[in-house]
Structure 1
Amino acid sequence: MSISSDEVNFLVYRYLQESGFSHSAFTFGIESHISQSNINGALVPPAALISIIQKGLQYVEAEVSINEDGTLFDGRPIESLSLIDAVMPDVVQTRQQAYRDKLAQQQAAAAAAAAAAASQQGSAKNGENTANGEENGAHTIANNHTDMMEVDGDVEIPPNKAVVLRGHESEVFICAWNPVSDLLASGSGDSTARIWNLSENSTSGSTQLVLRHCIREGGQDVPSNKDVTSLDWNSEGTLLATGSYDGFARIWTKDGNLASTLGQHKGPIFALKWNKKGNFILSAGVDKTTIIWDAHTGEAKQQFPFHSAPALDVDWQSNNTFASCSTDMCIHVCKLGQDRPIKTFQGHTNEVNAIKWDPTGNLLASCSDDMTLKIWSMKQDNCVHDLQAHNKEIYTIKWSPTGPGTNNPNANLMLASASFDSTVRLWDVDRGICIHTLTKHQEPVYSVAFSPDGRYLASGSFDKCVHIWNTQ
C-alpha cells in the first residue's frame, strides 16, 4: 500500500471543488501546492474521496460482522456504522462483544423455548402451536405495515426527449447557450471547453468541437490540466470567451478556433463576461483584480486593483461600466478610464458570491455567505433592501427576463436566489418581500435559470436533480 500526502491533498481539494466550496478549495490548493503535483486531475473520477471512504467504511463494517473463523455472525452483518463510529478506536471490539452477548441471549432463549415445547408436545394437539405462531406472525406484520407518504414523483423524461452529451473526461462546471444558434458551450475539469451542435440536422450528441486549453512549456503547447470554470458567448453568438484556473482567458470562434489568449491575471480566473456591444470582455481573478480586455486585439485595456481579496464575480451595467464583488465583502462599481471606483457598496458581513444588475441597469443584487440578499442603487450608499430569509449561504442569484427593459415588459420583475439551505426563493424586489419558497431540493442549490418568457424557472442541486418551476 502506498499513500502520499500529495494524493490525499488532491482528493481533498477535488472534494471541496465538487461540493461547491470553491473559495476553500482555492485556499487549500495554494497552501498544499496542488499545482506543483504531477497528478493529472482529468484521470481522477468524480467523487473519488467519497468512494474510497465508503470502501473503508465497508471494510470496518466487515470487521465488525465477521467471526475469527471468517463466518458472519448469525449468517448476516449487523447494523451499518456511521462514519464517525467507524473511526473510533474501540468500535470494532465494542460492537463485536455487544453482538456476541446478544447472540448468546438469543441462543439461550431459543434453547429454553425448545425445551418447553418438547415438554408440552404430548398434551397439545399437533400443529396447534404452529397455527398460533402463524396467526401471531400475520398480526404482527399487519400492525407494522405503513402506508407510503404521498409525494410528487419524479417525471421520467422519455429517451427521445433527452440528449446526453458525452465526451468530457472530468466534471462539467458550467454551460451556456449560444444566443443565436443551437450551440451549447460547456467547461470542464478536463482542461477543455466544448461546443455542441444541437440543431435538428445534427447527429444527436455526436457533433462536438473540443477547445483544448494549453500553455507553452519548452517551446511547445501542452495541456494546462486546469479547470475551465467560466465561459460566455458574445451577443452575436460568433465568439466564445473562456476562463481557466491556469490564469488565462481565451477567445474562440464558434467553429472552435482559438482567436486570442488573454494573459495578465496572476492566478485562476473566477468569472468573465462580454459587454453587450461585444467589444470588451471583463474578467475577475484570484489576484484581487478585474480586467477589461479589448476583444479585437486581445490586449488589456485597464486593470482594476481595488479589491483586497480575490474577486469572485463581475457584471456589466453598461458597455463601459461594471460591478465586481469579492471575498473582501465589498462591491465596487468601476468605469473604463476611471482610476478609482465610482461607487463602493459595503454592508455584507461575509464573502459576496454573486452580483447581477437588473434588466434596466438601475438596481444591483448581491448575495453572500452571510445568508443575506441585498439590493443596491447608484443613487444611495446604503442598500435599498436587505432581504433575510435563507438560513445558509446564498450561492447565486438571477433576475427574471421580465418587466421594463425586457421582451416581456408587462410581466412583473422577479429575483431568484439559490442557497445551501436547499431552497430557491423568488422575490418581489419592488416590495422587498419573498413571494415564493421552492423547497423540493434535498441538497444545496447551485444554479438557477429563467425561461426566456420568465414563466418557468429551472434549478439544479447537489441532490442530482433538476426541477422546473412555474413562477406564475
Structure 2
Amino acid sequence: MGVSKSPTTPSTATQTNYSRKHGRDDGINGVSNAGATGGGGGSGSGTSHKRRKKTVSGADGDMLMTDGFPETPVALAEEPRVTNGCSVGVQVEDIVEITVVDSVILGQEDKNILICAWNPIHSNVLATASQDSIARIWNVPIDATSLTAIQNKVILHDPSSSPNRDVTAIRWSPQGDLIATGSYDGQTRIWTTDGLLRHTLPPHHGPVIALKWNKLAETLLSLSCDGKVIAWDALTGQAEAATDMDWISERQFAVCGNGGSVGIYDLDHEGSLKANASHSGEVNCLVWDECSERLASGGEDGDVLIWEKPTKILQPFKFHGHTEAVVSLCWQPISSSSSSPQPTKRILASASNDCQVRLWDVVSKTCINILNSHDDPVEKISFSPSGTRLASSANSRVIIWNTETGSITHVYDGLKGRRKNGKLVTAGGDTDTGIGDISWDESGARVAIGGGETKVHVLTPASPPAILSLQQQQLLK
C-alpha cells in the first residue's frame, strides 16, 4: 500500500503540531489559543475569550479549577503563532537538534536494514534484519555513543535459490529468550538469543509479512502473502493444524487443533476471544448445537466436553466413558413436531477408537446408551434428519441403529466377501477401507457413505435393505 506524502507545512504549523503531540495545553499564561490569531494577543479577527482565573493547590496538592466548564476546542485554522518566550501564544522549549555524532548507527555493513525490534525484557538488546538475508542481535548500552564498539551476533539465514532474500518479519518472544524471523522466500525460523537456529519451519507459498507469539511463547503465528496463517509449536517446530471447526453464530466460530485447545474466533476481532486447553491431548472434533447453544468437543484423551457458554470463560463439563480417542460427534436433530423450544432431553452421540458409540443426555449429564457391535474403531456417525436412526461406520461396515431402543435395524458390509472370521483379508498391498463421511438425504430414506476404495454407496435402509452403488445407478439411467 502506498503512502501519500503531506505537502510541506510552515514552521508555525510544525511547531504547533509538536506542542500538541507532546500534550501541551491549548493556552498558557491564562490566555486561550482561540483568543489570538496571527501574532496578536487578545485582539484581532479571532473571538476573544476571558482569561482563566488563577488556580490554587488543594490540600492534597491537586489543582482546583475556580471557573466552570472547559472551553470549546478550536479548529486548526484558528491556532495562533507559536512563540519562544512571549507571554502570548503557545510556548515551547528550544528545539534541540540531534546530530549524527550524537546518534548510534548500527548495521552500516548491512544492505538496507528493513526492520528492527527491541527485546521486551532486556532493554539493551536490539534485533535488526536486512535485505542480504542477515539479521543481527545488538547489545546497545544506554550510554553508547557513535564511537562505542557495539557488540552483535550475526544470524545468517540460509536463503533459498530465489534472488529475493529479504528478512521481512522479526519478532521477540514475550520472555525475550527467542526470536522469530520470516523471509521473502516464505521461510519462518526460530532462533535463540545467542543466534543459534532452533527450528526451520516449512515455508509458506509467499513472503512472511507478520509473526506473533502467544503469551507463553508456546505457539508462534506466521502470516504470509499467500493469505494463510499457520500456528507453529515453538517447542517442536511442528504446525498446529486445525482438526475441526464449526460456526456458533453469524460472526463467530470455534476451531480445535492438535495443540489441545478449543478457540473461539470472531470475524470482527483480531485473535481468539477465548482459548481453553481443558483436553489433555489433541482435540479431534467439535460440533455446535444451536438449540441448546452448547458446544461439544472430543479428544485423544477419550473425553467429551460440553461447553455451556463457549464465548465466556467457563470450565466445560466432562463426559467420561470412552477408553480411547473420540473421533466423531453429532447432535440428535430436534423433531419438527416438537413444540418445546427447550426439550427435556438433549442427545449427543460420540464415536471412539474403542469401537463404541455412546449416547449422552447433556441435560441430565448421563450416558443413556452404549452401542457396542463394531469390531473395529468407529470412524463416523450421523443421525437421520428425524433423529430416530443413527448410522455408524467402521472399516467399510455400516450399522444403522434405532436411537430410542439402541437396537440394530440394518447392517451393510461393503467388503463382506473379503473378510474371514471377521477380519479383512486383502490381496496384495494395503487397501484404504476407511469411510470418510456419512450423509442422510433430506427425507431420511437414503444414506450415502463415502470413502472405502474411493467409491460412494447409497443405502436405502428399508426392509429388505436395497443397496445400490453410484456406478450401478448410472447404468440404470
Calculate the TM-score normalised by the size of structure 1: 0.43
Calculate the TM-score normalised by the size of structure 2: 0.42
Q: Which protein is bigger by CA-based radius of gyration?
A: 2
Q: Which has the larger share of helix?
A: 1
Highest relative contact order (Cα 8 Å, sep 6+), 1 or 2? 1
